[in-house]
Amino acid sequence: MKENGSRKQGAPSPCAACKLLRRRCAQDCVFAPYFPADEPQKFANVHKVFGASNVNKMLQELPEHQRGDAVSSMVYEANARVRDPVYGCVGAISSLQQQIDVLQTQLALAQAEVVHLRVRQTASFSNHGLSPASPTNSGSPSSKFMGSQTRPIFDMDMMVDHTSLGLGESMWSC
């Protein structure tokens, strides 16, 4: 007689692994701590990708304190493999790496534009006999005299070809 998810004599319901495998769930079941009865899809994917026998062997060979991490890894890999049967989690890693590459390229372009704008600003101030405001020369008579004597270190116009990088218009252009 079943009551509240338990079997006769108050025994707990079988774990998701034993339920899927249609076997009796023993008290020392290696799957029970990691595949609870209320998460059947978790074990179903792991079983589909790795097989119950292989998962059992892997868990038996590991010390108990490492089994939880191993199960998490197997579940992640199995779910990725179910979503993408060819590449699995390698496909997800590759996709994330491509995103990192694109973002690093965008960051480098933004940094180059900042340098370009600073060089233009410094050149503009130098052409007008002004010095850009800085915390060290913020208004004392000697700093105004020193500021009018400064010239830009770099007097060049830097161009970045955004079209060759496939990014189109610059996100900083006005």
d(CA 148, CA 165): 40
3-class SS at 12? strand
Within a 10 A sphere around the Cβ of 71, how many other Cβ atoms?
Answer: 21
Question: Per-residue pLDDT tens for 116-173?
Answer: 999 999 888 887 766 555 555 444 444 444 444 455 444 445 455 555 555 555 444 4
173: left (phi over 0), alpha (psi -120 to 50) or beta: beta
**Cβ atoms 74, 46 nearer than 8 A:** yes
What's this model's pTM, rounded to 2 decimal places? Answer: 0.54
Question: Per-residue pLDDT tens for 14-72?
Answer: 999 999 999 999 988 999 999 999 999 999 999 999 999 999 999 999 999 999 999 99
